[in-house]
Structure 1
Amino acid sequence: MNKNCAIVTGSKESAPYTLIVQTTWIYPGWFAGLMKQHAKVTTLLKFIETANPAHVLLEINSEKAPGDFDFVGIPNSNDRIAEGYAKTAKSLAKLITKKIK
């Protein structure tokens, strides 16, 4: 997300806000040489106050983020799924950038 957004994120206990990524559905896709099916990841993104986790500031549903970046395909299921999470982060960064302008 840091590569695509002006707001810097990271792990700091003193941060006022925390993002919780809750996975609700994963489709691993498949790879069969010349044919492939992208992985898909659905998540619920919750922004909460770090000091008061019960106070949810914002919830965003990210549905079926595609997990494949290579034209040929990614044979490893873990890498395809990881790309779905990367796509979720890129989309969130794009949304934040659009909203803060």
Structure 2
Amino acid sequence: MKILKTVLAALIVLSVTAVQAQKIKVTNGDLGFLNGQTELLLEYDYSNMAVGKFDNEADYVAKKIAELNEKEAGSGEAWHEKWVADRDGRFHPKFEELANNYTKKANCNVDQTNINAKYTAIVKVTFLEPGWNIGISRRDAMINLEISFVETANHDNVLAVMTMTNVPGRDVMGTDFDAGYRIGEAYAKGGKEFGAFLVKKAFK
């Protein structure tokens, strides 16, 4: 019985996910200019993105490719191709779908195809934690976003900036062994909170 308790305690410790409070706030300007808008153009920016313990994405990617290629030639490049493709294939659609679940209540559509929109929201991913899940130990994915609202015709005219930090991504059933799935859930959560925040602060 004592051994069983020790094992269970160890499993609990290994399975604990660090909880960090998610924060969302406007750091510059005011979102009132969006009131009455029926569409908003979205753009995504991955320049200067930190990944995990790496200050820049390039260093993370180089290490990951090298590690995978040591195990199987060519697998590193295959991973990198998926790493980039998941943005348009999985992450952005999730962000936009969940955002629109809220903004549609204010009769506003938010996505990358609204090229005639008066305003653009540039979603810059400043930090990405892919997380992991190896069964007895796991860590949620997490993203930090800096979203700048600009005139579509003049990106130099920044009207407002908002930040979202510690946005988590995980499967509630704990079966998210694929990093892309975990990251996608972080984008879904980010989109949900983004849309809800706009409805509360802009479309009122």
Q: TM-score, normalised by structure 2?
A: 0.47
Match of 1:64 among 166, 170, 176: 166
2: distance between equivalents of 1:40 and 1:48?
A: 26
- 2:138 is matched with which residue? 36
Structure 1 segments of 4 or more deviating over 6 A? none
Counterparts of 1:8-19 in structure 2 under 5 Å?
A: 8-10=109-111, 11-19=113-121
Number of corresponding residues: 101
2: distance between equivalents of 1:63 and 1:26?
A: 10
- 2:156 is matched with which residue? 54
Structure 2 stretches of 5 or more lacking a match?
A: 1-98
RMSD (Å), alpha carbons = 1.4
Cα deviation for residue 36 of structure 1 reads 2.0
- 1:80 is matched with which residue? 182
Aligned residue type for 1:2: N
1: distance between equivalents of 2:101 and 2:166?
A: 22
1: distance between equivalents of 2:195 and 2:124?
A: 17
2: distance between equivalents of 1:73 and 1:18?
A: 36
2: distance between equivalents of 1:79 and 1:72?
A: 11
Percent identity of equivalent pairs: 31
Structure with the largest fraction of strand: 1
Cα deviation for residue 69 of structure 1 reads 3.4
Structure with the largest fraction of helix: 2
Structure 1 stretches of 5 or more lacking a match?
A: none
2: distance between equivalents of 1:61 and 1:34?
A: 33
- 1:20 is matched with which residue? 122
SS in 2 for 1:59: strand
Q: TM-score, normalised by structure 1?
A: 0.90
